[in-house]
Chain A
Amino acid sequence: MGRIDFFLWPRAAPSLNVRFARLVRGSYLHVEETKLSNRVFAGLLLFSSSALAQAPPVDRAELRALQAAVAASQSAGDNAWMLVSAALVLMMTGPGLALFYCGLVRRKNVLGTMMQSFAMMAVITLLWAVCGYSLVFAPGNPFIGDLRYLFLRGVGAEPNALYAPTIPHQTFMIYQLMFAIITPALITGAFAERVRFRAMVVFSTLWAFFVYFPVAHMIWGSGGFLSAFLGGKYPVFDFAGGTVVHITSGFSALVTALYIGKRVGYPQEKFVPHSLTLSFIGACLLWVGWFGFNAGSALAASPLATSAFVATHFAAAAGAVSWMVAERVRNGKASALGAISGAVAGLATVTQGAGFVEPFSAILIGLVAGALCHFMVTVAKEKFRYDDSLDVFGVHGVGGLAGCLLTGVFATRVVNSGLKLANGQPAALGWIDGNPAQVVNQLIGAGIGIGLAVVGTLVALKITALVTPLRMKEREEDTGMDLSLHGEEGYNFEA
């Protein structure tokens, strides 16, 4: 493609000419500001007016080319953002979550814990390519997709207009994969420091089939039972996975912690985080990655993405403040672990509503998240004495559930006008929008998500236990995952 250089009079209002040029070029405009004589400026005006004058009234072929060029430029912008978002979401699992979790365990389990997240990056990817994507996003019945995209057949450069009309279908596919990776990786925190590697891989694979694929299809898939925009029976607003990711992983985590049992020595012995510096880095990577998670869920570089970005950031900040205040009141000190836990709680809680709520609603959601999750982790867990080692249920399960319901309250068409009435006007979304019934829909969605998570996790655990022992032997647990399961150590200071 050639290049047109426009020389514009520095102070002259360039809007007409620039707009015209952008239309003609579709994708490329080069503007140089330079000192010009009146003569050149006059020439420019002459050029543009003559170009307008010469244009035939409406040339259909030219118009089509123009439309194609405009569409191509939008696709380029959206695709760039979505590819970056996909990478950001992958970064949440590795190294984000891997670091966050591994810092919280004892030194002898640092590699074993990181490997649990990393293994998901590898295993779920293959699963997704073979059939996972199809089971979630192919139209099928209301509960699971069919197999039309088996082995990613037909998933190429051509956009899938149902989900994201401006980006290649393959971009949508790889973006959604990153969510399927982080969800089972989140669960691993609940059974940290005591489950064999093979059992963890088998369980997570089964769990993807029994819980993630059906729930994701129901909420996000075309024709899904709970789909808000694609013909669901009970429309659930789940912008970026509050139910699909956080409720499912959080409640499944609780089931695994109860089923597998406590770590040897818990709670009498000391289970002190071996490196909060690693956890700190991990949590900050999660925060940044979450922009891809939530803002990317707009599936375009759109104002909606901006809105979700802002809500995400605000909720994380509010969550951190809220948890720190709660700690200060209870223990007298705000801790680093508390601050990062609060941020993650805020992020998990705002995920469901990120693309539906206004900035100050997001702050409110974050404030609720920090205090509520702090209570769950410090008071409720102590009372019930389950060993959800890294607080997946307390943060993601409870935060996810709160976020699901609060989305029903705070969702507004001011932010998201995607749902239209018959007359083309945006439909009222949440309670504050005049649609209190949405809270019931959200409750139904959460209930189905929780139910499927509990049952699916139990079945997956039972089957796994038939195939391979779930727990490490007591002696192996004492030695640590790194040596027992992987034959290596995370820290060799004498080396």
Chain B
Amino acid sequence: MIKIETVIQPSKLENAREALRNIGIDGLTVSEVRGHGRQKGHKEVYRGREYQVDFLHKLKLEMVVPSARKDEVIRAIVEAVRTGAIGDGKIFVSEVEEAVRIRDDTRGEAAL
């Protein structure tokens, strides 16, 4: 099993979810996060006083899938959320040791 963590632009959530559902990925966790990569922050001005805002609003998607589906899932996400502009986000993939379905103690890929 692998965990695919994806940081995307908030406006692309629906596209990503649609693409994942089309390839049969139903389990998904979404969180609102702030951060920045190469994309610089922006300037805000309140009554003439300027503030540099470095951490931008992003969404983080996390899903655990069978290792064999890695490329398929990545391709689906990339195609769904890419705009080609800086700030489109990142995808990180890592090994997952175990998965447990709490309801009935199912283990491994069957629990996904």
Asked if A331 contacts B45 (CB within 8 A), the reply is yes
Cβ proximity bits A369-395 to B, threshold 8 Å, 1 near / 0 not: 000001001110110000000010000
A159 CB to nearest chain B CB (Å)? 45
Q: List the one stretch of B47-55, B90-98, B103-111 in contact with chain A.
A: B47-55
Find out whether the CB atom of A272 lies under 8 angstroms from the CB atom of B48: no
Binary flags per residue of A333-377, CB closer than 8 Å to B gives 1, else 0: 101011001000000000000000000000000000000001001
A64 at the interface (CB under 8 A from B): no
Q: Are B51 and A338 in contact (CB under 8 A)?
A: no
A382 touching B51, Cβ below 8 Å: no
Query: Which residues from chain B contact A60 at a C-beta distance below 8 Å?
Result: none
Q: Is B79 an interface residue (CB 8 A)?
A: no
In the complex, are the beta carbons of A337 and B47 less than 8 A apart? Answer: yes
Within 8 A of A (CB), among B51-68: 51
Compute the total of residue contacts between A and B using a CB distance below 8 Å. Answer: 28
Beta-carbon contact of A333 and B45 below 8 Å: yes
User: Complex formed: what's the CA distance from A254 to B45 in Å?
Assistant: 23
Whether B44 sits at the interface, judged by CB under 8 Å, is yes
- The reply to whether A273 and B46 contact each other, CB–CB distance below 8 Å, is yes
B42, chain A: closest CB distance, angstroms: 12
CA of A271 to CA of B45 in the docked complex: distance in angstroms?
11
CB pair A377–B47 under 8 Å, yes or no, is: yes
A391 touches B47 (CB 8 A): yes
Inter-chain contact A272/B47, CB cutoff 8 Å: no
Whole-angstrom distance from the CB of A323 to the nearest CB of chain B?
Answer: 10
Cross-chain contact B46 with A382 (CB below 8 angstroms): no
A contacts with B: majority SS: helix
Chain A residue at minimum C-beta to C-beta distance from B52: A270
Q: Is there an interface contact between B46 and A378, defined as CB atoms closer than 8 Å?
A: no
Interface digits, A257-289 against B, CB 8 Å rule (1 contact, 0 not)?
000000000010011110000000000000000
* Bound complex: CA A466 to CA B48 (Å): 37
Output the nearest chain B residue to A391 by Cβ-Cβ distance.
B47
Q: Which residues from chain B contact A382 at a C-beta distance below 8 Å? A: 48-49
B47 and A379 contacting across the interface, CB-CB below 8 Å: no
| Cβ contact within 8 Å between B51 and A272 | yes
| Interfacial chain B residues near A378, Cβ < 8 Å | 47-49
| Contact residues in A for B51 (Cβ distance below 8 Å) | 270, 272
- How far in angstroms is the closest Cβ of chain A from B36? 16
Q: Is A330 an interface residue (CB 8 A)?
A: yes
CB-contacts of A447-468 with B (<8 A): none
Q: Determine if A272 and B45 form an interchain contact, defined as CB atoms under 8 angstroms apart.
A: no
- Which residues of A are found within 8 Å of B46, using beta-carbon distances? 272-273, 335, 337
Are A330 and B48 closer than 8 Å at their CB atoms? Answer: yes
Residues on B with beta carbons closer than 8 Å to the beta carbon of A391: 47
Q: How far apart are A492's CB and chain B's nearest CB, in angstroms?
A: 18
Contact B48 A377 (CB under 8 A): yes
**Chain A residue, CB-CB nearest to B45:** A331
- Tell me the residues in window 215-252 of chain A with beta carbons closer than 8 Å to chain B beta carbons: none
User: Across the interface, do A379 and B44 meet the contact criterion of CB distance under 8 Å?
Assistant: no
Residues of A within 8 A of B47 (CB): 337-338, 341, 377-378, 391
Nearest opposing residue in chain B for A272, CB measure: B51
| Complex CA–CA separation, A378 to B47 (angstroms) | 6
B44 proximity list for chain A (CB < 8 A)? 272
B49 to chain A, nearest CB (A): 7
C-alpha gap A375/B106 in the complex (Å)? 67
Query: What distance in Å separates the Cβ of B62 from its nearest Cβ neighbour in chain A?
Result: 21
A379 x B45 contact (CB < 8 A) = no
Q: Bits for A305-335, please: 1 = Cβ < 8 Å to B, else 0.
A: 0000000000000000000000000110101
Q: How far is the CA of A380 from the CA of B52 in the complex (A)?
A: 21
For chain B residues 16-60, which have a beta carbon within 8 Å of chain A?
Answer: 44-49, 51
In the bound complex, residues from chain A placing their C-beta under 8 Å from that of B49 are 267, 271, 378, 382
Complex: A377 Cα to B47 Cα, angstroms: 7
A330 and B47 CA atoms in complex are apart in Å by: 11
- B residues touching A (Cβ–Cβ < 8 Å)? 44-49, 51
In the complex, besides A271-B49, A272-B46, A382-B49, 10 extra interface pairs with C-beta distance below 8 angstroms are: A270-B51, A273-B46, A333-B45, A335-B46, A337-B46, A337-B47, A374-B48, A378-B47, A379-B48, A382-B48
Q: 8 tightest CB-CB pairs across the interface, nearest first?
A: A378-B48, A377-B47, A331-B45, A270-B51, A272-B51, A337-B46, A273-B46, A377-B48
25 A–B pairs (Cβ distance < 8 Å), ordered by A? A267-B49, A270-B51, A271-B49, A272-B44, A272-B46, A272-B51, A273-B46, A330-B48, A331-B45, A333-B45, A335-B45, A335-B46, A337-B47, A338-B47, A341-B47, A374-B48, A377-B48, A378-B47, A378-B48, A378-B49, A379-B48, A381-B48, A382-B48, A382-B49, A391-B47
